[in-house]
Amino acid sequence: MEKGTLLYEGKAKKLYVTDDSEVLWVEYCDQATALNGARKEQIAGKGALNNQITSLIFERLNSEGITTHFIKKLSKTEQLNEKVEIIPLEVVLRNVVAGSFAKRFGLSEGFVLPAPIVEFYYKNDDLDDPFINDEHVKFLNIATDDEIAFLKSETRKINEILKKIWLEIGLTLVDFKLEFGRLADGTIILADEISPDTSRLWDAAGNHMDKDVFRRNIGDLIEVYSEVLAKLQATK
């Protein structure tokens, strides 16, 4: 597989074409952002940690029957993905009250929800990724009723697998964000990444083992992500 020209540069990743039109070469970078990109910092080693963590998680999801874009890890910072057209939705699932959900409803963080709640945010930096409902998704022609139903049921299915993976290393999966994409034939598959950048993970002592250490300035991101990776590698 040959790495070609740069196709797209996101906040934390660079996507390159390859000699196979259906495959992308993805490089994870060291940039950390918060407040929708308003705060940016280079954190040496972050890209390598996220690439290794998300690769392990996607390998597990693939082996448990979830269809994903993940093909294989190439190096500490690179992986091969199937090329998809990303659906402009951030699909968030919450098991425990935290973050923007706590703020929006005036609740304390830590309350365990009686059942998981799935939310959609419109992926649009200029609009600050607004919270939207199913009818907005349809109005904006982002997805059909059937596709919306699929996105929700697939996210709930993925939650059950992820909860198990994180619990094996002593972490509670508080919430997480997923992105899905369409293959050329329209099939929707899981895309993007699953890492402490995109998930809230609390240990038994209530420590934040995720990007909240950066967002809230409450710890060393590299130390925390390294511990998460080491524990995942140990259970492999």
Enumerate binding residues for ligand C5P (CB under 6 A): 90, 92, 98-101, 129, 175-177, 198-200, 211
Distance CA 168, CA 137 (A): 35
Q: Which residue is nearest to ligand C5P (CB)?
A: 99
Q: Which is nearer to ligand C5P, 81 or 199 (CB)?
A: 199
Dihedral (Cα; 75, 68, 181, 2), 10-degree rounding: 30
- Minimum distance from residue 100 beta carbon to ligand C5P (Å): 3
Nearer to ligand C5P, 176 or 202 (CB): 176
Shortest Cβ 99–ligand C5P spacing (Å): 2
- Looking at the Cβ atoms of 20 and 109, the one nearer to ligand C5P is 109
Choose between 24 and 201: whose C-beta lies nearer to ligand C5P: 201
Indicate the length of the chain as a whole number. Answer: 236
Pairing of strands 31-34, 199-203: unpaired
**Minimal distance in Å, beta carbon 234 to ligand C5P?**
23
CB under 8 Å to 94, separation ≥6 — which residues? 101, 113, 116, 117, 119, 174, 175
Q: For the chain, first and last CA: distance in Å?
A: 27
Nearer to ligand C5P, 16 or 122 (CB): 122
Query: What distances in angstroms separate CA 129 from CA 89, 112, 132, one per listed residue?
Result: 9, 25, 9
Kindly state the helix (H) or strand (E) to which residue 3 belongs, with its residue range. Answer: strand 3-9
Distance in Å, CB of 6 to ligand C5P, minimum: 23
Q: Toward ligand C5P, which CB reaches closer, 18 or 31? A: 31
Nearer to ligand C5P, 100 or 153 (CB): 100
Least distance in Å: CB of 224 to ligand C5P? 13
Sequence-distant (≥ 6) Cβ neighbours of residue 128 within 8 angstroms: 36
* Sheet with strand 13-18: strands edge to edge: 3-9, 13-18, 23-28, 78-82, 70-73
In whole angstroms, the minimum distance from the beta carbon of 20 to ligand C5P comes to 29
Give min distance, CB of 169 to ligand C5P, in A.
17
**Are the C-beta atoms of residues 79 and 51 closer than 8 Å to each other?**
yes
